[in-house]
Amino acid sequence: MISKILNSQLTFGSKNSPVKPFKIETTQGALSVRELSKSNIKASSEFMFDCLVSSGDDGWDKYKNCDKATKKHVLSWFNTLTEHCLNKEDGNSTVLVAKDKNNKIKAYFNLQNFDEMDMLYKTGLKDAKTGFVQSCYVASDYRSQKVGEKILEKMLPTANGFFTDILLSAGKQAVTFYQKMGFVPCENISSESKKVTDFFMSKPDKDGTVLMYKSINKLEPCWNRLVKLIK
């Protein structure tokens, strides 16, 4: 199994295991969840921007009253990131959006390959097959109705069979949510893990961002391998 994963040319993403559209009932009506289409990239970037500036996540509040040019620059960066995910030949990404009855985006979730983040290359662990939850955003008026939970429950299984584990970097406001979804702060895995989180995070703990990990099968998780490498 491990060799299947490490040598796999196959991909985990929704290209190979498409997520069927589904609905989530909320007090404001049903949300329709489906994979993001190219025509919705700009709308999803606008949605993410609004969520980020209002979440207090990772210093994004400084963009609350930013000028038009700065906002345009950030949006174009988001567009590029999402286009890259959707265009990937290897299919290593799953991007889901939830829309209300007026076709407005109310949630955006993105799972991709961790090595995309360049972090594993920094460590020399080039053969890791680790998923990375890049974005989880639910519109403020739809929170605490299990929307996040239900979308993650559909998104994470698209990594099964091709990845050893899933990592993410959680803003302090989202740590409890991810813990409920089975993620563990990497520092809690072993006493040695702190060295790895320090290696990754330029300013650990300062802004409260926490690296978290979830095992999705019985294979040795990437995190254990990193702990052995970075001593």
* CB-nearer residue toward ligand COA: 44 or 224: 44
174 binds ligand COA (CB under 6 A): yes
- Compute the CA torsion angle 17, 19, 20, 22 (nearest 10 deg): 160
Half-sphere exposure of 74 (CA within 13 A, CB side): 18
Q: Single out the segment in contact with ligand COA by CB under 6 A; choices: 5-13, 122-130, 176-184, 219-227.
A: 176-184
Binding mask 178-207 for ligand COA (x = CB under 6 A): --x---------------------------
74 binds ligand COA (CB under 6 A): no
Contact pick of 145, 182, 204, 208 for ligand COA (by CB under 6 A): 145
Contact pick of 85, 156, 166, 170 for ligand COA (by CB under 6 A): 170
Binding mask 39-68 for ligand COA (x = CB under 6 A): ------------x---x-x-----------
Half-sphere exposure of 162 (CA within 13 A, CB side): 22
Contact pick of 85, 111, 147, 159 for ligand COA (by CB under 6 A): 147
- Nearest alpha carbon to residue 6 among 149, 190, 129, 132: 129
91 binds ligand COA (CB under 6 A): no
Phi, psi (5° rounding) for residue 96? Answer: -115, 140
Separation CA 154–CA 37 (nearest Å)? 17
| Helices and strands counted in the chain (H then E) | 8, 8
Task: Kindly state the DSSP code that residue 7 receives in the 8-state scheme.
Answer: H
136 binds ligand COA (CB under 6 A): yes
Contact pick of 34, 143, 154, 194 for ligand COA (by CB under 6 A): 143
Residue 138, both tokens: 């639910």
The residues pairing with 168 across neighbouring beta strands, listed in sequence order, are 133, 212
- Nearest alpha carbon to residue 109 among 94, 123, 120: 94
* CB-nearer residue toward ligand COA: 7 or 173: 173
Please give the residue ranges that form the binding site for ligand COA (CB under 6 A): 51, 55, 57, 136-138, 143-149, 170-171, 173-174, 176-177, 180
